[in-house]
């Protein structure tokens, strides 16, 4: 299934994509794409619905982030061997974990907002893992049982805030509209192998990132298991699993976003996003 949330910011409704690619309203069956509704067992029940009988959503509504109720937005740094190489960093022995503030979360086509004082706003296409049930001390063998599905995310980053100013990475990752998620939450049964997905990102039509989740250092099951040893994972939590090479920071000379740019990105089987880049006012 491909689950969506559509409508104005803060008033999104749950939906599902039908066989023709249209949005059908799921409000009669779940309150939102969140909590118990995305437990893997509940998702199997939803999969039995005849989508053709659900109300058709007319027009072209705004898409919100494809999951609600996210308590933790967990990011993994330097998790692609070829991305680590382009930045001159060593491949980590354990996952590098940092947080992105949940206030950064927005819809897949909402704009990238360059914050005041920004000098180096960068892009990062990433595979997002959406947790579907409470996970604590889970084994790698069982880890995917706790996953609801996958989505595209753009881990937008301000490199001056992240790297050149004192403190941790969080402040360079958490500006408003630095976390586009969607368009869909694609349930895990539709993705045969999350470690073999093509990923791409373009700026103004020029391909910047053209990679694959095959070069991840720590795979999805490893990450879910590893994180669960240190913190409980809850339904709606998002794990952004790292980015392939081609970020602006790694270019020679580096290249960053400016107001008026257009960013497009996508992952095989998970859909795509489009964002206008605007300056904060």
Q: What is the pLDDT of residues 204-236, one digit of tens each?
A: 999 999 999 999 999 999 999 999 999 999 999
pLDDT at residue number 258? 97
For the residues 48-61, what does the mean pLDDT come to?
A: 96
**Number of folded domains that form the chain:** 1
What share of the chain has pLDDT > 90, as a percent?
A: 91
pLDDT at residue number 208? 97
pLDDT in tens, 104-123: 999 999 999 999 999 999 99
At 132, is the pLDDT very low, low, confident or very high (cuts 50, 70, 90)?
very high
Is pLDDT of 272 > 90? yes
Residue 58 lies in a domain: no
* Predicted structure pTM score: 0.95
Q: Is 144 exposed, middle or buried (0-12, 13-18, 19+ CB in 10 A)?
A: middle
Is pLDDT of 172 > 90? yes
pLDDT at residue number 244? 94
Mean pLDDT, the chain, rounded, equals 95
Is pLDDT of 165 > 90? no
Is pLDDT of 181 > 80? yes
More reliable by pLDDT, 167 or 181: 181
Residue 235 lies in a domain: yes
> Dihedral angle at the C-alpha atoms of 92, 213, 64, 58, nearest 10 degrees?
180
Residue 37 lies in a domain: no
CATH code of the domain covering residue 121: 3.90.850.10
Residue 104 lies in a domain: yes
Residue 13 lies in a domain: no
Residue 47 lies in a domain: no
pLDDT in tens, 77-89: 989 877 767 777 7
The C-alpha R_g of the chain, in whole angstroms, comes to 18
Is pLDDT of 38 > 80? yes
pLDDT at residue number 78? 86
Residue 61 lies in a domain: no
Is pLDDT of 133 > 90? yes
For the residues 14-20, what does the mean pLDDT come to?
A: 97
Is pLDDT of 168 > 90? no
Distance of CA 205 to CAs 95, 209, 218, Å?
Answer: 32, 12, 30
Residue 254 lies in a domain: yes
Instruction: Tell me the residue range of the domain where 229 lies.
Output: 67-279
């Amino acid at each position: 299934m491909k689950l969506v949330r559509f409508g104005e910011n803060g008033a999104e409704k749950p939906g599902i994509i039908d066989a023709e690619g249209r949005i059908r309203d799921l409000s009669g069956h779940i309150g939102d794409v969140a909590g118990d509704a995305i437990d893997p067992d509940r998702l199997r029940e939803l999969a039995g619905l005849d989508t053709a009988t659900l109300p058709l959503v007319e027009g072209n509504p705004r898409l919100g982030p494809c999951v609600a109720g996210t308590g933790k937005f967990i990011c993994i740094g330097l998790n692609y061997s070829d991305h680590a190489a382009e930045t001159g960093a060593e491949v980590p022995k354990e996952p590098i974990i940092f947080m992105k503030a949940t206030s950064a979360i927005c819809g897949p086509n909402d704009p990238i907002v360059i914050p005041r004082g920004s000098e180096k706003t960068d892009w990062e296409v990433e595979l997002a893992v959406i947790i579907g049930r409470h996970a604590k001390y889970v084994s790698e063998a069982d880890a995917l049982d706790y996953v609801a599905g996958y989505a595209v995310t753009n881990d937008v980053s301000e490199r001056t805030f992240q790297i050149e100013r004192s403190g941790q990475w969080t402040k360079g990752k958490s500006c408003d509209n630095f976390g586009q998620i969607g368009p869909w939450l694609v349930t895990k049964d539709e993705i045969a192998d999350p470690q073999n997905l093509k990923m791409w990102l373009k700026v103004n039509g020029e391909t910047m990132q053209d990679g694959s989740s095959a070069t991840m250092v720590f795979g999805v099951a490893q990450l879910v298991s590893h994180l669960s040893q240190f913190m409980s994972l809850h339904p709606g939590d998002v794990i952004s699993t790292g980015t392939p090479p081609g970020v602006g920071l790694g270019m020679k000379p580096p290249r960053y976003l400016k107001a008026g740019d257009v960013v497009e990105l996508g992952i095989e089987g998970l859909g795509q996003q489009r964002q206008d880049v605007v300056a904060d006012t």
